[in-house]
Structure 1
Amino acid sequence: MADLTSASASTAAASLSTEGKLDALRQELARRGVEGFLVPRGDEHQGEYVAPSAERLAWLTGFKGSAGFACVLQEEAAIFVDGRYTLQVRHEVPESVFAPRHVSDEPLADWLDGRLKPGQRLAYDPWLHTEEQVRRLEKTTTALGASLVALDGNPIDAVWGDRPAPPKAKIRPHDLALAGRSSAEKREELGAQLAKAGIAAAVITLPDSIAWLLNVRGGDVAHSPLPLSFAVLHADGGVEWFVDPDKLTPEVTAGLGNAVAVETPERLADSLGRLGKAGAKVMVDPSTAARWTFERLRAAQAEVVAGADPCLLPKACKNAAELDGMRRAHRRDGAALSRFLHWLNAEAEPRAGTDPVSELEAAERLAAFRGATGELRDLSFDTIAGAGPNGAIVHYRVSEETNRPLGDGELFLCDSGGQYRDGTTDVTRTMAIGRPSAEMCRRFTLVLKGHIALARARFPKGTTGSQLDALARYALWQEGLDYDHGTGHGVGSYLNVHEGPQRISKLPNTVALQPGMIVSNEPGYYKTGGYGIRIENLVAVTESPKREGEERDMLAFETLTLAPIDRRLVELDLLNREEAEWLDAYHARVRAEIAPQLDAAARVWLEAATAPLGS
C-alpha cells in the first residue's frame, strides 16, 4: 500500500476493509516510531458499554463483544477474548488478519514472546488502560527486553476518518424516593471516611459511581443510564464534577447544591495538579482508573494512595428503597417476559403452512412486550436470542446475517433485560421448540440442579462468591461438563447490568457477599454446534434468621426474577425432593405475583407452565 500521511490516511481508512484499516494503523505506528500497539475494548472510564466514538476495537477488527483486546505488530496481529467470545470472534473477525486467541490459554505475554523483539517499543493509550493493567504490561515487555510506551493521542483516531462525535445526552435527577439516600448524605459519609484515613480527596472515574453519588442518570452509552464524566470527592464532602455543562438539565443544576462544583472535563488535569501542589494524599483505584490519572498526580508530586473506588461497596449494597424498586421492576418485567413466553409457545411450535419464528422476530417481540409496560427506559443489554447452535455462543448477538429460525427439536436460549427507573433486570430462559432430545433434557436438568443449589444456599457472613461457585457447577462436574463463564455478576439499581465488586466465579474474589447486594444466578452448558442452556435469575443477599443451635450469623438469597422455567425440559428422576419442592414453590410464587397482571389467555398458559411437577 502506498505511503499515506496521517491526514490522508484518516480519509482513506473510513471505507477500508479490515485489512486496509490494519495497514493504515501500521503506517501511523511507523510514523510515530513504535513497533506495536494495544487496542482494548474500552474507553477512558474502563466501562463495559462505550459510546460509538470509543468503539476502536470494533472499528479496527469487526469484533462487537463487550470484552477483549487486540495487539498489532508490524508483521502480525491477534485478538484476545475470553471463553464467552471464542465462537463469536471467529464469526466476526477475519482470521487471516487477526489471529483469534483465548486470553487464558494463550495470554498476551506468551503471544508476544518471540514476536516482540528486544529493543522494540510496544505502545498504548494511557487513557484506555488502568494502572494495574499497565504494571502487568511493563513486566511483560521488560522480560522480553522491549519497552512499553505511552502515546499522546490514540493512533486509531488518526486514521478513523468517520469517527462519530462524543455523546452529549442530557443528565437528569434520580428521584430520592428511588435512590433512598440523598447525594449530600452519601458525599458526607464517604468524605468522612476519607478524612478518617487522612486522605484529602479521591478521584472517581467510573460514571456509574458518579451517577450513584450525585443521584443523577444520563444516556451517553447504550443500555446503561450513565453520564460520562469524572469527579474528585473531597474529605469535606465537596465534589468537583468534570462534565460537559451542555449535558446538565436545569433540574440537575438546581439540585446539586453549593458543595458540588461543575467544571469542564478539560479542567481535570488542573484539579489534579492543584492537589499535587498542596502535597495532598489522593486516593485512586488502580483497577478502574486510567494510568493517565496516576501519571498526572505523580507529575504534580501528589501522594498517591491506591485504594478501591469509595462508591463501589455502598453502591453494591442496595438500601431498602432500592430493593423495593428492584422488586417492583422484576414483577413488571416478569409479566412482560411471561407474555412473551405465552406468545412464543403459540407461535414457535412447528405448524404446517406457517413460517417459523426467527431469532430477530423473537427479540423484537420481547422488546415490544417490555415497551408496552410504559415504564421501560432501555434494554439493559442487547438481547441474546440464540436458536440451536447459535445458543452455544455465550454472548451471541443476532444480526440480519446470523438470524436463524427457531427449528423443530431445538433449544432457544433467550437472555434479556430491561432498564426501568426503579430497577434493572437480567433474566435467561431456555425453551424447547418442539420435542427436545433426551440429552437436552438431561443437561438442562443438570444446569437446573446447579441453579437451585445456589438459590437455596445458606452461608456464613464473610463468604465470598468464589466460595459458592462450585455449588452451581457440581452436578455438571459429576458428568464431566462445565461452562466457561462466571456464575454470577453484580447488578446495579437502574445502573449497570454488570456491577462489582462482588461476583460468583471460579476466579478468586476477596469481596464478601453482604446484605443488599444483588447478583445473578446463571449456570449454563454449551454444546458447540448444537445448543446452549442457561437459567438465570437475579437474587438479593439477605439476612437468614438464626435457627436453633446455630452459632454463626448466616446469609441467604432472595430470588427476585419471576418467570416460568420450562418444565418440558426437566428430567424429574434427576431432581431430589428438596430440588423439586424448590421449583414447585418458585412456580407457585410466579403464579401468585404474575398471573394477576396477565390477560385471560396468558393466565391460562401460565397456570399450565407453572403447574406442580408431575401434574
Structure 2
Amino acid sequence: MENFKLKLIREYMREMAISAFIVPSNDPHFGEYIQEHFNVRAWLSGFTGSAGTLAVTCKDAALWTDSRYFLQAERELNGSGIELKKMKTPGTETLEQWLIDRLEVSQSVGIDSSLFSFSEYNALKLTLNNINIQLCNDPFSVIWKDRPALFFNPIELLHEDYSGESISSKHSRLISALGVEGPILYLVSSCDDIAWLCNIRGSDIDYNPLALSYAAVSNEKIFLFINQSSLKSQDKKILEGEGVVMMPYDSFTSFIQDYPEKALRVASPEKISIRNYNSAIKSGARFQLDQIKGGAIAMMKAVKNQVEQEGFRKAMLSDSVAWTKTLFWLERELQGDKLIYEKEVAERFAGNRSADPLYKGESFSPIVATGANAALPHYSPLNSDVEIERQGFLLMDTGGQYLYGTTDTTRTICAGPLTEEQRRDYTLILKGMISLSMARFLKGTRGSQLDILARGPISTTGKIYMHGTGHGIGHYLCVHEGPQSIRMEENPVQLMPGMVISNEPAVYQSGEYGVRIENVLLCKKWRDTEFGEFLEFETLTYVPIDTRPVVRELLCKAELEWLNNYNSEVIKRVSPYIDNDEQAWLSERCKELY
C-alpha cells in the first residue's frame, strides 16, 4: 500500500507536470535546527535526523543521509516505501545519478526555491545535465494540512558587556571586509549571523538562541526583518540608535527586489535561497557573490574578541561544575541497586546547570547512551526509558547555553566491567584527543592538516570515525558554527587566534559500544620564531577524564603527563564550587596515573 504522504506529493507532482521532487532538510535560513513548520522532509519521510535529503519519483522514493544516522534511518524508514541511501559508502549512488537513471531529458525535477541555496541549486543544475529543474513556491503549504504555524518568541538585546562590540562597530567592519566600492546591499538569511551582527538573541529555534530574521545591510543602515512585536519598545530605540531599521519578517523578498537598482547586491552563495537570489536580480540590479567561505559575517563571528573569550572561560567553568556534580551523583547511583535511566541522567545535567542564574537552556539535544546505544553518534534518550547497564561504557554528550557562552562536552565513563578491546579503543581515542590538544602549528594551518593527530591512533587498529573531529562553537549562539573545522575533508579556512573549536575523536562498534571524548579548545598565539608565528590551543573544558579504562602502556610519557596535569587542573578549578563529598570523589577520580 502506498505511503499516504508520498501519495500527496505525487498528486502535486502530477498537477505540476513534475516527474520528481527533491526535499532537503533546509529552512529558508539554512540553519542546523529548524522550526517544525519548515521540517517538511521529516514530515514526509518519517526520518527525524537533522541531515538528509529525500527524492521522490512517480514510482520510487529514496533518502540520503550520512553515517551519523544510518542506524536511526534504517529503523525510522522501515516500511515507509522509502529506500535508505548511505552516503559515502561503496556502491551507493548519488542522488543526482539516481534521478538521471529514472528520468528522461524532457522531464522535470521540482524543488522548493526557498529551501535551496544558490550553491546547492547550481550544483544540482550542473550534475543533472539537461534535466529541467522547476522552481516551486512552498508546495507543502497546500499538501500538509495540519502544518504547524510559524511562531515568534520575545527578542532580547545582548548587552555589550557580553558581546564585547557594538552593532555600529560590527556594521563598519563588515562593510570594510566586503571591500566593495559604492552603494551595496549585503543580503543575510542566516539567523545566527544576524543575531551576532545586531546583538540580539531569541528563542524561535530549539537549542539555539535565535530569532527568525533576515537582514539587508547597506553602507549606512542595517535593515532587520523580524517580528517587530517580539521586541520591547526601549530595545527598538536602542537598535534604531545603532542604525538598525526594523521591517516585517515576511517583506524581505519584496524589499530586495524593490531596493534602488544602483546598489550592488552581495550575498554568500551558501546562505541565500535561489528564490531570493532571483528576486534580487529581477529589477536588473547587479549581483556579486561573497567570496569569503561561509560569508563575511561568519568569518568575523568565528574570531572571538577578548570579552567573548573570557565569557567562554566562565561558561565552560560553570558547565564543568555541573558535569562534576552529575558524574558524582551518577557513580554513586551506579554503586547501588536502583534502576537508573538514560533520560534521568540527561535531566540531572540540566538541573545542575540551572544553578547558574545566567544559564539559558541546553545547546543541543543531550546524548546519554548506554551500551550499544553509544554506537549511534546522535542517539537521543529523551523519548524512551532505557536502563543504564552496569557494564561497559556510558557515553554522555551534552552542553548548555549561558549568557556569556555556549558549551559542548563529551565524556565516556566506565559503568562496569570492560573488555580488553574496549579499554584499548578508549585509550587510543584519549590519545588522539590529547595529541590534538598539545598541537603547536604555523599560522595559516587548516583544520584538515591537524585532523590526523586525533584520528591517527584509532586508525592503527583499522577503525575510523566518519564524522569531523572538530567544529566551531558560537558565543551564546549555535553550538555548531563555521566556517572553521577539523576534519578529513579539505576546508580552505585557516585556524586563527580567537577561534573556538571542539576536539572530539571517537570510535563506534556497531551493536556493541561507542567511545567519544570531547573538550573545547581556544586557538591562540604561542610565539614568534624565525620560521613565523606559531599557534596553540588553550583547553577550556575542565571535566574529569575517567582514567579507569586507560591502558597505561599505550600512552607515551608526554601524553601521560598531559593527562595528569589536566585532571589536576580540574581539581584546582572545580573544587571551590562543590561540596566536601564531591571534592573527595573528584580527588579520587583525578588521581595521577604512574
Relative to the length of structure 2, the TM-score reads 0.96
State how far apart, in whole Å, the 1-side matches of 2:370 and 2:183 are: 53
Q: Is 1:119 matched with 2:102?
A: no
Aligned with 1:417 (options 399, 403, 407): 399
State the secondary structure of the residue aligned to 2:320: helix
Deviation at 1:67, TM superposition (A): 1.3
Deviation at 1:199, TM superposition (A): 5.8
Counterpart of 2:274?
291
Counterpart of 1:311?
297
Deviation at 1:373, TM superposition (A): 2.7
Deviation at 1:318, TM superposition (A): 0.3
Deviation at 1:282, TM superposition (A): 1.4
Q: Is 1:459 matched with 2:441?
A: yes
State the secondary structure of the residue aligned to 1:71: strand
State how far apart, in whole Å, the 2-side matches of 1:294 and 1:443 are: 48
| Cα contact 1:279–1:301 (8 A) shared by 2 | no
Q: Is 1:268 matched with 2:252?
A: yes
Deviation at 1:399, TM superposition (A): 4.0
Match for 2:377: what amino acid?
V
Q: Is 1:470 matched with 2:455?
A: no
State the secondary structure of the residue aligned to 1:582: helix
Count residues with an aligned counterpart: 587
Matches within 5 A, 1:546-565: 546=528, 550-565=530-545
Listed as ranges, the gaps of 5+ residues in structure 1 are 2-17
Please list the CA deviations of residues 358-377 of structure 1 after superposition, one character each: whole Å capped at 9, or x if unmatched: 11111112221112333321
Stretch deviating more after TM superposition (439-448 or 262-271): 262-271
State the secondary structure of the residue aligned to 1:567: coil
Deviation at 1:197, TM superposition (A): 4.5
Aligned with 2:363 (options 380, 400, 422): 380
Aligned with 1:256 (options 239, 250, 270): 239
Aligned with 2:230 (options 247, 254, 278): 247
State how far apart, in whole Å, the 2-side matches of 1:51 and 1:592 are: 42
State the secondary structure of the residue aligned to 2:67: coil
State how far apart, in whole Å, the 1-side matches of 2:434 and 2:348 are: 29
State how far apart, in whole Å, the 1-side matches of 2:273 and 2:434 are: 40
Stretch deviating more after TM superposition (520-529 or 89-98): 89-98
State the secondary structure of the residue aligned to 1:414: strand
Aligned with 1:129 (options 112, 116, 126): 116
Match for 1:115: what amino acid?
R
State how far apart, in whole Å, the 1-side matches of 2:80 and 2:179 are: 55
| Cα contact 2:257–2:281 (8 A) shared by 1 | no
Aligned with 1:583 (options 536, 539, 563): 563
Relative to the length of structure 1, the TM-score reads 0.93
Counterpart of 2:483?
501
Please list the CA deviations of residues 312-332 of structure 1 after superposition, one character each: whole Å capped at 9, or x if unmatched: 111110000001011000100
Counterpart of 2:353?
370
State the secondary structure of the residue aligned to 2:205: coil
State the secondary structure of the residue aligned to 1:113: helix
Tell me which stretches of 4 or more aligned residues in structure 1 moved more than 3 Å.
Answer: 192-199
Match for 2:61: what amino acid?
A
State how far apart, in whole Å, the 2-side matches of 1:157 and 1:184 are: 38
Q: Is 1:445 matched with 2:419?
A: no
State how far apart, in whole Å, the 1-side matches of 2:460 and 2:178 are: 48
Q: Is 1:148 matched with 2:130?
A: no
Counterpart of 1:601?
581
State how far apart, in whole Å, the 2-side matches of 1:364 and 1:30 are: 48
Deviation at 1:117, TM superposition (A): 2.9
State the secondary structure of the residue aligned to 1:242: strand
Counterparts in 2 of 1:36 and 1:196: CA distance versus 1, 3 Å: closer
RMSD, matched Cα: 1.6
State how far apart, in whole Å, the 2-side matches of 1:116 and 1:485 are: 33
State how far apart, in whole Å, the 2-side matches of 1:543 and 1:195 are: 27
Match for 2:102: what amino acid?
R
Please list the CA deviations of residues 490-523 of structure 1 after superposition, one character each: whole Å capped at 9, or x if unmatched: 0000000000110001111111011110000000
State how far apart, in whole Å, the 2-side matches of 1:96 and 1:189 are: 50
Please list the CA deviations of residues 55-86 of structure 1 after superposition, one character each: whole Å capped at 9, or x if unmatched: 11121122221211111111111111111111
State how far apart, in whole Å, the 2-side matches of 1:381 and 1:117 are: 43
Q: Is 1:174 matched with 2:158?
A: yes
State the secondary structure of the residue aligned to 1:114: helix
Match for 1:551: what amino acid?
F
Aligned with 2:202 (options 205, 218, 227): 218
Match for 2:340: what amino acid?
V
Please list the CA deviations of residues 126-175 of structure 1 after superposition, one character each: whole Å capped at 9, or x if unmatched: 11011110011112322xx42111002x2223221221110211110101
Counterpart of 1:429?
411
Please list the CA deviations of residues 366-395 of structure 1 after superposition, one character each: whole Å capped at 9, or x if unmatched: 221112333321100000111111100011
Counterpart of 1:157?
141
State how far apart, in whole Å, the 2-side matches of 1:289 and 1:467 are: 30
State how far apart, in whole Å, the 2-side matches of 1:562 and 1:581 are: 16
Counterpart of 1:336?
322
State how far apart, in whole Å, the 1-side matches of 2:305 and 2:495 are: 15
Counterpart of 2:522?
540
Counterpart of 1:480?
462
Counterparts in 2 of 1:597 and 1:162: CA distance versus 1, 3 Å: same
Stretch deviating more after TM superposition (453-462 or 90-99): 90-99
Match for 2:466: what amino acid?
D
State how far apart, in whole Å, the 1-side matches of 2:156 and 2:561 are: 45
State how far apart, in whole Å, the 2-side matches of 1:102 and 1:434 are: 34
Counterpart of 2:263?
280
Matches within 5 A, 1:5-44: 19-44=3-28
Match for 1:239: what amino acid?
I
Stretch deviating more after TM superposition (245-254 or 537-546): 245-254
Counterparts in 2 of 1:431 and 1:244: CA distance versus 1, 3 Å: same
State the secondary structure of the residue aligned to 2:109: strand
Listed as ranges, the gaps of 5+ residues in structure 2 are none
Match for 2:304: what amino acid?
K
State how far apart, in whole Å, the 1-side matches of 2:394 and 2:296 are: 41
State how far apart, in whole Å, the 1-side matches of 2:358 and 2:322 are: 11
Please list the CA deviations of residues 260-319 of structure 1 after superposition, one character each: whole Å capped at 9, or x if unmatched: 1111123223321234x5232211110121111211122121111111422111111000
Please list the CA deviations of residues 556-612 of structure 1 after superposition, one character each: whole Å capped at 9, or x if unmatched: 100101101111111111000000000111111111000111011111110111111
Deviation at 1:195, TM superposition (A): 5.5
Match for 2:31: what amino acid?
G
Deviation at 1:232, TM superposition (A): 0.7
State how far apart, in whole Å, the 2-side matches of 1:399 and 1:92 are: 16
Q: Is 1:324 matched with 2:310?
A: yes
State how far apart, in whole Å, the 2-side matches of 1:455 and 1:199 are: 45
| Cα contact 2:261–2:283 (8 A) shared by 1 | no
State how far apart, in whole Å, the 2-side matches of 1:286 and 1:196 are: 17
| Cα contact 2:63–2:83 (8 A) shared by 1 | yes
Aligned with 1:48 (options 25, 28, 32): 32
Counterpart of 1:13?
none
Match for 1:133: what amino acid?
E
Q: Is 1:395 matched with 2:382?
A: no
Stretch deviating more after TM superposition (60-69 or 588-597): 60-69
